[in-house]
């Protein structure tokens, strides 16, 4: 296993997991590397991931053209218009990750569900239609990207299953048949934090809620990962996705695969930083249960950013994420309380 930087998360060639002609032996070899990285770091870089380079480049171009618009144009699709589907644009300072505003702006997207979808009809949070900016090609390209990353997510989860000694399709049959997919475009402005705005981070320390996050980042850098020996950079590596384990996979594996805190420094590079995470999460109705062979997880509340004992969580993924969402977006919380 080579490392992406001297002492950053490992870089893994995941080609065998996405290549239909690979052998079981080749896939097991990749799974072993993912297993080691998920235990030691909770993070790895996925190289040779099979997502078309030109599709990635097109998404990046569209994301940049979205953020380059005037604030008033971006505010034509504010998150407040997305309601409980949790879609749309929020301006810098609009998201509170660790109770403080983050110095970033973002566009929230996800699987496109029409008004007749049963969950949309029921008003289930995080489900619904996107708010599309008025930019040619935006919708088709974003939806193609979500599909491509969904395929990669399933492939990486099959690698996790193999790494855990489970049958390859184990997660497909236990929670990811219809995964919750959330896509975000983030712009960390070069513009400094104005005096009086209490923003100390691009994104404050947090863990991700679901199973697996696949993040594209540009060449600016700023992502940091917590280790037992302090914070370590996860610098940009062209052609890769930074992948990290979320809370639910930590819970399901009894802490064997770790959902590790990370954060993004305020951008002082002099140019804007773009990042694009895709959150590959369990089906909303999945009751989160330990995988076969998972030991009893240890209470890790003393180490966790939110003081929660993840291993004691009982319920569906929907229960978990609903409780979290309201803390990050106070406006949405008010809606949830009414809901
Ligand atoms: O922008 C990044 O590099 C990381 C963002 C992140 O951690 C998140 O959105 O959960
Ligand atoms: Fe994150």
Residue 196 has pLDDT above 50, yes or no: yes
Ligand 1 pocket, residue 212 CB under 6 Å? no
Ligand 1 pocket, residue 208 CB under 6 Å? yes
Mean pLDDT of the chain: 91
* Helix/strand/coil (H/E/C) assignment for every residue in the chain: CEECCCCCCEEEECHHHHCCCCCHHHHHHHHHHHHHHHHHCCEEEEECCCCCHHHHHHHHHHHHHHHCCCHHHHCCCEHHHHHHHCCEEECCCCCECCCCECCCEEEEEECCCCCCCHHHHCCCCCCCCCCCCCCCCHHHHHHHHHHHHHHHHHHHHHHHHHHCCCCCCHHHHCCCCCCEEEEEEEEECCCCCCCCCCCCEEEEEECCCCCEEEEEECCCCCEEEEECCEEEECCCCCCCEEEEECHHHHHHCCCCCCCCCEEEECCCCCCCEEEEEEEEECCCCCECCCCCCCCCCCCCCCCCCCCCCHHHCCCEHHHHHHHHHHHHCHHHHHHHHHC
Ligand 1 pocket, residue 186 CB under 6 Å? yes
Cut 0.80: pTM above it? yes
* pLDDT for res 336: 47
Question: CA–CA separation, 58 vs 43, rounded Å?
Answer: 26
Over residues 224-264, the pLDDT tens digits come to: 999 999 999 999 999 999 999 999 999 999 999 999 999 99
Ligand 1 pocket, residue 262 CB under 6 Å? yes
Ligand 1 pocket, residue 163 CB under 6 Å? no
* pLDDT for res 303: 77
Residue 148 CA to ligand 1 center (angstroms) comes to: 19
Ligand 1 pocket, residue 260 CB under 6 Å? no
For the chain, the C-alpha Rg in angstroms (whole number) is: 19
Instruction: Give the atom of ligand 1 at the shortest distance from the alpha carbon of 186.
Output: 1
Lowest mean pLDDT across 3-12, 73-82, 289-298, 325-334: 325-334
Over residues 144-181, the pLDDT tens digits come to: 999 999 999 999 999 999 999 999 999 999 999 999 99
Question: Which ligand minimizes its atom distance to the CA of 216?
Answer: 1
CATH of domain 2-336: 2.60.120.330
In the chain, % of residues over pLDDT 70: 92
Residue 21 CA to ligand 2 center (angstroms) comes to: 33
Residue 2 has pLDDT above 70, yes or no: no
What Cα–Cα distance (Å) separates residue 285 from each residue in 12, 83, 207? Answer: 32, 21, 21
Residue 222 CA to ligand 2 center (angstroms) comes to: 12
Residue 188 CA to ligand 2 center (angstroms) comes to: 14
Residue 291 has pLDDT above 90, yes or no: yes
Instruction: Give the atom of ligand 1 at the shortest distance from the alpha carbon of 208.
Output: 10
Which of 60, 110, 185, 203 has most ligand 1 atoms within 8 Å of its beta carbon, as the pocket-test mutant?
203
In the chain, % of residues over pLDDT 90: 77
Question: Which ligand minimizes its atom distance to the CA of 104?
Answer: 1
Taking a C-beta distance cutoff of 8 angstroms, is the pair 55, 48 a contact? no
Residue 215 CA to ligand 1 center (angstroms) comes to: 7
Q: Which residue has the higher pLDDT, 299 or 290?
A: 290
Nearest CA to ligand 1 atom 9: 277
Residue 277 CA to ligand 1 center (angstroms) comes to: 6
């Amino acid at each position: 296993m080579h490392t992406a930087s001297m002492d950053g998360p490992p870089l893994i060639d995941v080609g065998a997991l996405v290549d239909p002609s690979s052998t079981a032996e080749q896939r097991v070899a990749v799974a072993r590397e993912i297993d080691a990285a998920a235990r030691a770091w909770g993070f790895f870089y996925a190289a040779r991931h099979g997502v078309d380079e030109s599709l990635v480049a097109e998404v990046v171009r569209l994301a940049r053209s979205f953020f380059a618009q005037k604030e008033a144009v971006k505010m034509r699709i504010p998150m407040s218009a997305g309601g409980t589907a949790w879609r749309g644009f929020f301006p810098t300072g609009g998201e509170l990750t660790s109770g403080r505003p983050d110095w970033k702006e973002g566009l929230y997207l996800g699987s496109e569900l029409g008004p007749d979808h049963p969950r949309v009809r029921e008003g289930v949070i995080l489900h619904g239609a996107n708010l599309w900016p008025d930019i040619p090609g935006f919708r088709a390209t974003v939806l193609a990207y979500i599909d491509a990353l969904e395929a990669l997510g399933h492939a990486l989860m099959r690698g996790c299953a193999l790494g855990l000694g489970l049958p390859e399709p184990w997660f497909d049959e236990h929670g990811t048949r219809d995964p919750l997919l959330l896509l975000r475009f983030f712009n960390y402005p070069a513009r400094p934090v104005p005096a009086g705005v209490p923003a100390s981070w691009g994104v404050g320390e947090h863990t991700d809620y679901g199973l697996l996050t696949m993040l594209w980042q540009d060449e600016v850098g700023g992502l940091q990962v917590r280790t037992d020996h302090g914070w370590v950079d996860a610098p940009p590596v062209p052609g890769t996705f930074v992948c990290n384990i979320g809370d639910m996979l930590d819970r399901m594996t009894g802490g064997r695969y770790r959902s590790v805190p990370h954060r993004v420094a305020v951008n002082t590079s002099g140019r804007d930083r773009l990042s694009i995470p895709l959150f590959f999460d369990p089906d909303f109705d999945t009751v989160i249960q330990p995988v076969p062979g998972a030991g009893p997880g240890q209470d890790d509340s003393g180490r966790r950013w939110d003081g929660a004992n993840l291993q004691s969580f009982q319920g569906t993924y929907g229960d978990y994420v609903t409780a979290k969402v309201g803390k990050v977006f106070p406006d949405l919380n008010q809606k949830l309380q009414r809901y």
